[in-house]
């Protein structure tokens, strides 16, 4: 969302996101959303902004570990729908599907249970879009298990890392360089 269009609550929320250089590895700038999460008004405003373009179009929210869980949980409650967690490898007692993917600084695997009824309409939520590997893997998991991703929404997008090229159309609340 362009800065000119941000409500006062979203402007405040954006100001609460900290940039931490060289974490978790040299050259990576980590975006710390902990202060935003601790501010009720900022969390409410960002949750509403994450959901707004998709109102009434989905049956369930899927959130990607770890910070995506927090945002997806808030979004699921606000929308009155359930939450499906997409977890890192080895965290689920009975994964139904898994996908390996590339990160900015390595590789990882995510897993998901097959608890969704076939054909469920899913809103996929994560905190950040960087290179797009995690969100692409999350979409692949949902679709492999017979559901349909109706949209992808992220708190912020880091411009210039190619994530949008990989993911395609998605909703972003904030942009970062």
Structure tokens at 126: 């994560």
Closest CA to 152 of 26, 41, 58, 85: 58
What are the b/e assignments for 59-71, b being 16+ CB within 10 Å? bbbbbbbebbbbb
Radius of gyration of the chain from its Cα atoms, rounded to whole angstroms: 15
Q: Which one of the listed residues 67, 87, 111, 157 is annotated catalytic?
A: 67
Task: List CB contacts of 109: < 8 A, sequence separation 6 or more.
Answer: 88, 89, 98, 99, 100, 101
- Taking alpha carbons only, the member of 52, 40, 62, 29 closest to residue 144 is 62
Of the listed 48, 104, 121, 144, which one is catalytic? 104
User: Is-catalytic flag, 94?
Assistant: no
User: Which residues are identified as catalytic?
Assistant: 67, 104
């Amino acid at each position: 969302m362009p800065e000119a269009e941000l409500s006062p609550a979203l402007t405040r929320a954006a100001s609460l996101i900290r940039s931490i250089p060289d974490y978790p590895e040299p050259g990576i700038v980590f975006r710390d959303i902990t202060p935003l999460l601790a501010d009720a008004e900022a969390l409410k405003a960002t949750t509403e902004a994450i959901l707004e373009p998709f109102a009434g179009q989905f049956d369930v929210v899927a959130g990607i570990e770890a910070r995506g869980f927090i945002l997806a949980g808030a979004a699921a409650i606000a929308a009155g729908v359930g939450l499906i967690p997409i977890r890192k490898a080895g965290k689920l007692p009975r994964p139904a599907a898994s996908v390996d993917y590339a990160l900015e600084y390595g590789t990882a695997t995510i897993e998901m249970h097959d608890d969704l009824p076939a054909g469920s309409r899913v809103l996929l939520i994560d905190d950040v879009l960087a290179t797009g590997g995690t969100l692409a893997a999350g979409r692949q998991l949902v679709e492999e298990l017979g559901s349909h991703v109706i949209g992808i929404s992220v708190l912020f997008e880091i411009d210039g890392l190619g994530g949008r090229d990989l993911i395609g159309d998605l909703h972003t609340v904030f942009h970062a360089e």
